[in-house]
Amino acid sequence: MRKKFGDKIEGYIFVLPAVIFMLLLIGYPLIYNIVLSFQNVDLSNLGGGDKSFVGFDNYRNVSGEEAFGISIKNTLIYTFASVIFQVIIGFFLATFFSMKFRLAGFLRGIMMISWLIPMTVTALLFKFIMGSSDGIFNQMLLSFNIINEPIGWLSSPDVALWSVIIANIWVGIPFNMLLLSTGLSGLPQDVYESASLDGASWWQKLVHITIPLLRPVIMVVLMLGFIYTFKVFDIVYVMTGGGPINSTEVLSTLAFRYSFTDFDFSLGAAVANVLFLILFAISLVYLRMIKKDEAI
Amino acid sequence: MSNRKNWILSIIGVVIVGAFLFPVYWMIITAFKTQTEIFQTPPTFFPKEFQLDSFITVIQGDVGQYFLNSVIISSLATILVLVLSVPSAYGLARFRIKGVQSMLLVYLVTQMLPATVVLTPLFIVFNNLGLLNTYIAPVLATATLGVPFSVLLLRTFFIGIPKELEEAAKIDGCGRLRAFLQVIVPISLPSIVVCGAISFFFAWGDLIFSITFNRNQDLWPLTAGIFNAVGRYGIEWNNLMAFTTISVLPVIIIFVLLQKHLVEGLVSGSVK
């Protein structure tokens, strides 16, 4: 064992500033947000004045709004569809690039560009690509005779949510691929060699070796994807603003609209809390999962 | 791997990545097209006449100011992140103090938190402190994105550094702080740079904090400017794409410079 290494006060001086910073800027607002959701705060009493306690009124009012139910449904569809496709596509790309051909590392690296570009830029770019009359997406599909008339990617309420999902899948693929690649490179090679000797096909190796061995990594990637996708804001806000007619409204954009378009801060706080509660539950599952893997 | 197979796989790889990054290519070449060429059917996959007018138009607009604001906000946020998180990660890795587990938990949870949850309270707090419509509000808010990521990534790195290094420095008469600054920080520089770059990207990409805390357009970063430009330029997509191309440029440059380190760092910072 080591001798006493440094005294404790010194340790706290190193550690605490960042912790205090996070508690002030995230911890305190988090609690404040819960308080807000039980009050009645709008522009008139924002700076001071009477902020009366209204119990669950905000939650009751919100759950009566049609947009709230729609936004929960949309957030769930958006999250599940995005995560599933990102993981599947990411997985196949990861296995492809794990074949270590000459350009593999370089090509895998530059795919990260889609993840690095600010979401606002991606959203605007896809808005351009998915334009109904002049967008390249429709023009390509029309010229290959895949569709007969232009699709209103962002203008049709039935399609708009899926268009936003497509843009988000594009953003998330490389990141999922990267995490899965790391998992793949950690798999024992001798298992594959003996399977090859036994004459196993590519598909058999995938289903019977790779996926079972990679299960813990896949679970972590799914959970992380869920957590980061569920809080979507920028892509939806810039591409559609929640429209047409609420068809792409998600919890974040709804909370933002209540707070900063209608200036009903308490109503916005209530919606944000619902979002937080769902995420918190998922995060607990995730934390328990990674704690089993290794003591954090 | 045979040479032939190597070639085939490389070609397939180039095709896949080319198709995947087509939107980025489309953004850049649209910026160089004329307004009429954009709406031409069939569309042209390479500009017939390369023109810089779109870039000139947006630069004569207020892209310069937005760019400067983005640089100021992101740089200050990055510095703040590093000043806070490098010592914190070191402390969590090296000192046997109470509450290490719960502090790590604080970072893990805050990393997952949606901006929307803290947005309204922060707006009210910043309003009461008179910080709305200043650079300070978005700097503080965007730094909260980089701190947890950096602490978690750097802590793992610091744990891997042999303690003998600092003890040698101590024998040479260095205090704890000097050993940290003169021994630990220099050998950790690559990881610290990765954290800095990622924190910079986080701040550079922020939209929600900036449009909420700053109603004053003179202080807006590029993202807020882009969002606003949609209304101004309408369907002048060449101008809009010139705008977005300019705002993506710094990110791509940093990425190209640091590519290898970044890719490794991203993995360890996200999973741990």
B230-244 pLDDT tens trace? 877 777 888 999 999
> From the CB of residue B246, how many other CB atoms can be counted at a distance below 10 Å?
19
pLDDT in tens, chain B (272 residues): 788 888 999 999 999 999 999 999 999 999 999 888 888 777 888 888 888 988 998 888 889 999 999 999 999 999 999 999 999 999 998 888 888 888 888 888 888 888 999 999 999 999 989 999 999 999 999 999 999 999 988 998 888 888 887 777 777 777 778 888 888 888 888 889 999 999 999 999 999 999 999 988 899 999 999 998 887 777 788 899 999 999 999 999 999 888 878 877 776 666 54
In percent, the amount of chain B with pLDDT more than 90 equals 50
A215-235 pLDDT tens trace? 888 988 998 899 889 988 999
Domain that holds residue B43: 3-53
B9-27 pLDDT tens trace? 999 999 999 999 999 999 9
User: Cβ–Cβ of B244/A136 closer than 8 Å?
Assistant: no
Cα–Cα separations (whole angstroms), residue B159 to B152, B163, B171: 11, 9, 21
Domain that holds residue A215: 67-294
**CATH number, residue B126:** 1.10.3720.10
- Please state, rounded to an integer, the average pLDDT across all residues of chain B: 88
Same domain, B156 and B189: yes
Instruction: Give me the number of domains chain A comprises.
Output: 1
User: Cβ–Cβ of A109/B260 closer than 8 Å?
Assistant: yes
Q: Does B107 touch chain A (CB under 8 A)?
A: yes
Residue of B nearest to A5 (CA): B95
Which residue of A19, A41, A45, A249 is the best one to mutate when testing the B interface, meaning the one whose CB has the most B CBs within 10 A? Answer: A19
Question: Residues A39-68: what's their mean pLDDT?
Answer: 83
Give the minimum alpha-carbon distance from A207 to chain B in angstroms, rounded to a whole number: 22
Question: Residues A266-272: what's their mean pLDDT?
Answer: 93
Q: What is the pTM of this model?
A: 0.90
**Residue that terminates a domain, selected from B16, B34, B53:** B53
Q: Does B9 touch chain A (CB under 8 A)?
A: yes
Token output for A199: 């004459």
- For A48, left (φ over 0), alpha (ψ -120 to 50), or beta? left
Same domain, B156 and B219: yes
Q: Does B187 touch chain A (CB under 8 A)?
A: no
Same domain, B126 and B164: yes
Q: Is residue A159 part of a domain?
A: yes
Using an 8 Å Cβ cutoff, are B80 and B139 in contact? Answer: yes
Using an 8 Å Cβ cutoff, are A256 and B116 in contact? Answer: yes
Cα–Cα separations (whole angstroms), residue B262 to B40, B248, B256: 40, 17, 9
Question: Which candidate from B88, B121, B272 shows the least CB-CB separation from A15?
Answer: B88
Q: Is residue A19 part of a domain?
A: no
Q: Is residue A131 part of a domain?
A: yes
Q: Is residue A53 part of a domain?
A: no
Distance of CA A8 to the CA centre of its chain: 39
For residue A174, whether the previous peptide bond is cis, meaning omega lies within 30 degrees of 0, is no
Using an 8 Å Cβ cutoff, are B199 and B78 in contact? Answer: yes
- The ipTM, to two decimals, is 0.90
At A1, the pLDDT band (50, 70, 90 cuts) reads: very low
Q: What is the pLDDT of residue A6?
A: 52
